Chains A and B, each alone.
Chain A
Amino acid sequence: MAKRHDFRYFFHEGLSNMFSHGFMSFAAIGITVACLLIMGTFTLVAVNANALLADLEQENEILAYVDDSYTEEQAKALQSQLEKVPNVASATYISKEEAMEDFKAQYPDEEMFQDLDPAILRDRFAIRMVDLKLQSQTVEKVKEVEGIAEVNAFEEIAGGFVTVRNVATVVCVALIAILFIVSVFIISNTIKLTTFDRREEIAIMRMVGATNGFIRWPFVYEGFMIGFLGAVISFFLQWALYEAVAQGVDTNDTLQLIRIIPFSQLWVPVAGVFAGAGILIGVGGSLSAIRKFLQV
């Protein structure tokens, strides 16, 4: 007889499997939701932390002071040399006058600062880097440029940013891996119960000459539906949770510095990853559950 994929039959069987073990399916969906939510929350925290760190990195500058003996023209001429230094993204010239204006602007209420002579300051370049990790090498190279008297860099802060991000990434990846394995294990056991309940049916199917594929498909559909349903529910819960946290951060005065990425910018990848992970967990779990029933 012709070999074909009887989608309607498999879907119907998968769905009825799911409903006939309502409680277990509910538990499996619940576990998927919990796992996806935890995974999602950690990932979104990491994504936001990354974005925040990237912002802070952007703001992290090296200040390179020009030798006092250089005239303004000579000092400005150093810009092209500085921009040639590896890992330098940009070098912005700031004259002593501009630096003094900035300084005064920071303390508008301090009258004694308002009359200061800009000559007490030095011309400088604000240098931004491509990669923060290479800061110390970049500082050395900038120091070697003739006409640069001194370089001011906050190496500890830069190192701190990099460490925080690395730790966050490792923790996140480890948690996701563990939760993924736990989810697959639980779904696998749920579907094992379904298959155990239907072992007679499976035995009869084998006896009449059903192929392994035919026996396997309804369970794959069941796993798919559990995973997908779990993904949909967790997506909406994640959305609600994210908005609530974002609003909380937004209205909290002490957290004003933290910029939360709007969910509208994240929902497509979140939906995609949730759907993918949910389906992978569901189908993976069902395939591992049915394997032993297909060995005779």
Chain B
Amino acid sequence: MIRLKDVEMEYENGTKAIKGITLTIEDGEFVFLVGPSGSGKSTIIKLLTGEVEPCAGRIMINGFSVSNISEKQIPLMRRTLGVIFQDFRLIEKKTVYDNLAFVMRAVGAPQKEIRKRIPYVLHLVDLEKKADSYPTELSGGEQQRVAIARALVNNPNTIIADEPTGNLDPERSLELMSLLVKINELGTTVVVVTHEKDLVDRFGKRVVTIDSGHVVNDSVGGYVGGHIHG
């Protein structure tokens, strides 16, 4: 479960990115986080992954209190999350298999488990035949599916996707979003940050709209309010 209570966040340069947000995302939910550029969406992702600390309020993620988490506990908290980025962030000199294997090794998974888990996850994203390919040999859609596989490989409780379709054409975007919905149906909480209205409307999931550091709408069904800047 993700819970933000009266969270405020101000950067060192004085920019107040979050101005008192309260939000709860239950286990197994699928939530779109939408809003115009500079609304504070990315800051929320940074707060959730422990990259920045809130100035005020409380954040609980999968049993960890992020607002006053110790340095030793940050890696443990992050293991409950799988993060997907707009620019994929794959390691180009590693094969698809090695891109996944190294994140499993990073959390201390034994070799036997790595050999068993990776083919399963690659099958989930329909890339089992690309295990030995390098990221540069794959299309944008395939690369993003590798990124999803990487987010999934350590079996996290929650997937956080930051503009995952930003670099994809509409058809691949739809495919990718369908994949995330499928993952959600298997029991993983999914939080997707996006500004693609059509896509959001199509899936009829819970939509939280952020604008100027506030939650301006929280409803099920479609994209509400706010003008959208690419």
- Residues on A lying within 8 angstroms of B by beta carbon are 1-4, 6, 9, 20, 200-201, 203-212, 214-215, 296
Residue of A nearest to B99 (CB): A204
Q: Are B103 and A205 in contact (CB under 8 A)?
A: yes
Asked whether any CB of chain A lies closer than 8 Å to the CB of B55, the reply is no
- Residues on B lying within 8 angstroms of A by beta carbon are 49, 51, 75-79, 81-83, 89, 91, 93, 102-103, 105-110, 150, 154
> Which A residues lie within 8 Å of B154 (CB)?
208-209
Residue of B nearest to A214 (CB): B106
A sample of 14 more A-B contacts (CB under 8 A), given A206-B75, A214-B108, is A1-B108, A1-B109, A3-B108, A20-B93, A201-B102, A205-B102, A207-B78, A208-B79, A208-B83, A208-B154, A209-B81, A209-B107, A209-B154, A210-B103
Q: Are B91 and A210 in contact (CB under 8 A)?
A: no
Known: A209-B78, A211-B75. A204 touches B103 (CB 8 A): yes
Residue of B nearest to A207 (CB): B83
Known: A204-B89, A296-B51. A210 touches B106 (CB 8 A): yes
Known: A3-B108, A9-B105. A209 touches B83 (CB 8 A): no
> Which A residues lie within 8 Å of B89 (CB)?
200, 203-204
Q: How far is the CB of B94 from chain A (nearest CB, A)?
A: 9
A13 to B102, CA, bound (A): 11
Q: How far is the CB of B95 from chain A (nearest CB, A)?
A: 14
Q: Are B108 and A205 in contact (CB under 8 A)?
A: no
Known: A9-B105, A296-B51. A208 touches B78 (CB 8 A): yes
Q: List 22 A-B contacts (CB under 8 A).
A: A4-B108, A6-B108, A20-B93, A200-B89, A203-B89, A204-B89, A204-B91, A205-B102, A205-B106, A207-B78, A208-B78, A208-B79, A208-B103, A208-B106, A208-B154, A209-B77, A209-B106, A209-B107, A209-B154, A210-B106, A214-B106, A215-B106
Q: Are A209 and B75 in contact (CB under 8 A)?
A: yes
Q: Are B91 and A209 in contact (CB under 8 A)?
A: no
> Which B residues lie within 8 Å of A4 (CB)?
108
Q: Are A1 and B107 in contact (CB under 8 A)?
A: yes
A215 to B105, CA, bound (A): 11
Q: Are B79 and A209 in contact (CB under 8 A)?
A: yes
Q: How far is the CB of B117 from chain A (nearest CB, A)?
A: 12
Q: Are B105 and A200 in contact (CB under 8 A)?
A: no
> Which A residues lie within 8 Å of B81 (CB)?
209
Q: How far is the CB of A32 from chain B (nearest CB, A)?
A: 27
> Which A residues lie within 8 Å of B93 (CB)?
20
